[in-house]
Amino acid sequence: MITIVPVYPALLSIYADRGNVRVLQQRCAWRGIEHHVEPLALGDDLDPRRADVILLGGGQDRDQVLVADELIRQAPRLREALAEGACLLAVCGGYQLLGHRYHGHQGDDIPGTGLVDLETVAGSSRLIGNVLVDCGDGRTMVGFENHAGRTWLGDGVAPLGRVIAGAGNNGEDRTEGCRAERILGTYVHGPLLPKNPWIADELLQHALDRRGGGRLEPLDDGLEAQTAEGAAAIARSERR
Amino acid sequence: MFAAKTAAARALGSLSRRSGRGGGTSLPGKALLRLAPDAIERLAGRLEDGVVLVSATNGKTTSAALAAAALGPDHPLCRNGAGANLLSGVASALLEAPAGARLGVFEVDEFALPEVARRTRPRALLLQNLFRDQLDRYGELELVAERWRAMTAVLPDTTTLVLCADDPVVSALGEGRDHVVRFGLDDPSVALAGLADAADSTTCIRCGHAYDYAAVYLGHLGDYRCPNCGHTRPALDLPVRDIDLRGLDGSAFTIGGTPLEIGLPGIYNVENAAGAFALATALGVAPDVAAGRIGTARAAFGRFERVIVGDRDAVLLLVKNPAGANEALRTLQPNVAGAVLLLALNDRIADGRDVSWIWDVDYETVLPHAARVVCSGTRAADIALRAKYAGVHPDRIEIVPGRADALDRALERAGAGGTAYVLPTYTAMLELQRVAAERGLVRPYWEAAAS
């Protein structure tokens, strides 16, 4: 049994983040893997022994302070879950909360969980558009980004990939996202798993490894690949 | 001098129409604003019965069309049409106002509304709802809400606000004002089981706590109450009751006790008609007269159409964001078993470049029952992938990117006597309209809008 935990879905689902939950559910169902979705509600405590795939989505700016306060309270439980084999996908606003801090325009800083050595600084403009990222090993990630924050990774933190088209972490160093053991962070927002099913399967494999479920069977991802290629072509054609 | 500038801009509009490049609906306004930046103020001031503005994320075009139908016979109208709802579109409409026009009825883009309101000094505003829509273009819902609050803070006291009380953000715009009319749905028999996952604005506008809903009617619209601070939906001046939803055939209901029947489907059109009724009666139209006029009005261009193609037909329902799409699916629900659906997803600027929103639509409840799902548009594969994860077997999904080809394929699959149900985004709708017009099936939109 795999447990998928969307964190605060009422507040962290602004860009249709539930699409990621849907993809994880279906890719389990198609393989006959027992799974269930157990959303974490505001004020509740994460159960580190149950949570296998933890999802942190993007929220409205006005909710970010509230979410940050709650999430910092949950940080010890998140660490414990990760230490016991859970994995975490953090997107957009959720990605920023992985870091130490979000530096606002007028010193109005929002503290983060510090799970990953990274920091975010408010930018004067939003970075918006289709994005294509080279993640190495012949893998790409494609999707859409829309963020004002510029994120900078600490020295020991690897990016999830290198930007081919789009802005990525900060629009300057061509890095996109972060990868720290079983934590993935990215600005490719909302439903990134449908077009990047290898990331979904990476998360599910972590969950299977923890639960002693063997190797994932491959699926026919022809339509996924076709959709990703189309989106990649659009990202490449955009001038920003 | 001003007359020369307006004449020049008008000539440009007529030139653009003759050259056949679309309806020329916002070009003359753009030119005019460059020649005379205060043109809107001056031209709006000439309308003796003033200006009314209609805005919303969902339903502004239909609400404005129904309001125009209710107001038109008493007030010769100046209207903008065909989605030309930015500042330039309003300028174009004012520039090309029919002779003798006395009242301006303008649908206005929600982001452009504060600026249009500042310049036209409207006597009334009809505000329906704010949903998440095209976040890449507008930023977040809260940003638009904040702009609307700043706008109402500086509106003259004499301006009447006609507000949908079912939307907490919209309803609160009337707080502390003298001239406010609130309408809303008050019939739990048509309420949804609960909030959809896609719901916006579900936390209290005063204290941030999650609302309890006595009834949810559409997205986050409903009869809300905050269990923490007690903030509730205000009393309704015009409650909508006795709602009878008749699928694609339309709806019947009473509003403030007046019976109203409309030929437009779905509960969102009940809200649209209720808003138009509230606006018209606030401007002095007798309730039964307003109801009669709204009841006989046709759908605004392209929002809902049935097109006959030989021995079969196509039903088109515009979808442009999760809340609207969920309502369109709810309307189609009774017809969808074994049916052919055409989903046309474009990612042009007017649709929103970001197509993430399709993952917030509850396709799971409807698509698996369809016999076939034809996917089209600039993002045909994206919507096909969405259908796959909604539970449609890949064998029943067809990708036909070209809009004309996709319509043909869907009609072919529908078979003789059958119906293809078409759910296009905004620009895909325009493209399908063009295809239909070329085949003599419906009129092009600038003619329809002018009629």
Give yes or no for A145 touching B (CB within 8 A).
no
Query: Which pLDDT score, from 0 to 100, does residue B338 have?
Result: 92
CATH architecture of B304-450: Alpha-Beta Complex (3.90)
Query: Which pLDDT score, from 0 to 100, does residue B451 have?
Result: 31
B313 min Cα distance to partner chain A (Å):
30
Task: Provide Rg for chain B, Cα atoms.
Answer: 21
C-alpha span between B111 and B87 (Å, rounded): 10
B359 min Cα distance to partner chain A (Å):
5
Query: Which pLDDT score, from 0 to 100, does residue B139 have?
Result: 59
Residue (of A78, A72, A63) closest to A11 by Cα position: A63
pLDDT, mean of residues B432-451: 61
C-alpha span between B19 and B13 (Å, rounded): 10
**Residues B46 and B288 sit within 8 Å (Cβ to Cβ):** no
Domain B38-295 has CATH 3.90.400.10: no
Query: Taking 60 as the threshold, does the pLDDT of residue A90 lie above it?
Result: yes
pLDDT band with cut points at 50, 70 and 90 for residue B19: low
Hey, what domains does chain A have and what are their CATH numbers? 2-214+221-237 (3.40.50.880)
CB pairs under 8 A between A and B: 83
Query: Which pLDDT score, from 0 to 100, does residue B30 have?
Result: 85
Q: Which residues of A belong to the active site?
A: 92, 189
Mean pLDDT over each residue of chain B, to the nearest integer: 89
**ipTM of the prediction:** 0.96
A11 min Cα distance to partner chain B (Å):
10
pLDDT band with cut points at 50, 70 and 90 for residue B394: very high
C-alpha span between B9 and B29 (Å, rounded): 7
Give CA angle at B435 (B384, B87), nearest 5°: 90
**Residues B93 and B68 sit within 8 Å (Cβ to Cβ):** no
pLDDT band with cut points at 50, 70 and 90 for residue B138: low
pLDDT, mean of residues B288-312: 82
In chain B, domain spans: 38-295, 304-450
Burial class from Cβ neighbours inside 10 Å (0-12, 13-18, 19+) for residue A145 reads buried
Query: Taking 70 as the threshold, does the pLDDT of residue A220 lie above it?
Result: yes
Query: Which pLDDT score, from 0 to 100, does residue A74 have?
Result: 96
Give yes or no for A136 touching B (CB within 8 A).
no
**C-alpha dihedral over B13, B15, B18, B24, to 10 degrees?**
-30
* Single pTM value for the model: 0.78
Query: Which pLDDT score, from 0 to 100, does residue B323 have?
Result: 84
Query: Which pLDDT score, from 0 to 100, does residue A64 have?
Result: 80
**Least trusted range by pLDDT, from A123-132, B31-40, B292-301:** B292-301
Give yes or no for B438 touching A (CB within 8 A).
no
Query: Taking 90 as the threshold, does the pLDDT of residue B160 lie above it?
Result: yes
pLDDT band with cut points at 50, 70 and 90 for residue B447: very low
**C-alpha dihedral over A184, A186, A191, A195, to 10 degrees?**
-80
- Tell me the pLDDT tens digit for each residue of A25-50: 999 999 999 999 999 998 999 999 99
Query: Which pLDDT score, from 0 to 100, does residue A200 have?
Result: 98
C-alpha span between A27 and A7 (Å, rounded): 20
**Residues B302 and B318 sit within 8 Å (Cβ to Cβ):** yes
Which chain B residues contact residue A21 at CB under 8 A? none
**Least trusted range by pLDDT, from B312-321, B373-382, B433-442:** B433-442
Nearest to A144 among B132, B354, B399 (CB): B354
Which chain A residues contact residue B138 at CB under 8 A? none
Which chain A residues contact residue B399 at CB under 8 A? 226
Give backbone dihedrals phi and psi of B293, rounded to 5 degrees, phi first. Answer: -70, -40
Give CA angle at A196 (A194, A202), nearest 5°: 110
C-alpha span between B143 and B318 (Å, rounded): 25
Query: Which pLDDT score, from 0 to 100, does residue B16 have?
Result: 67
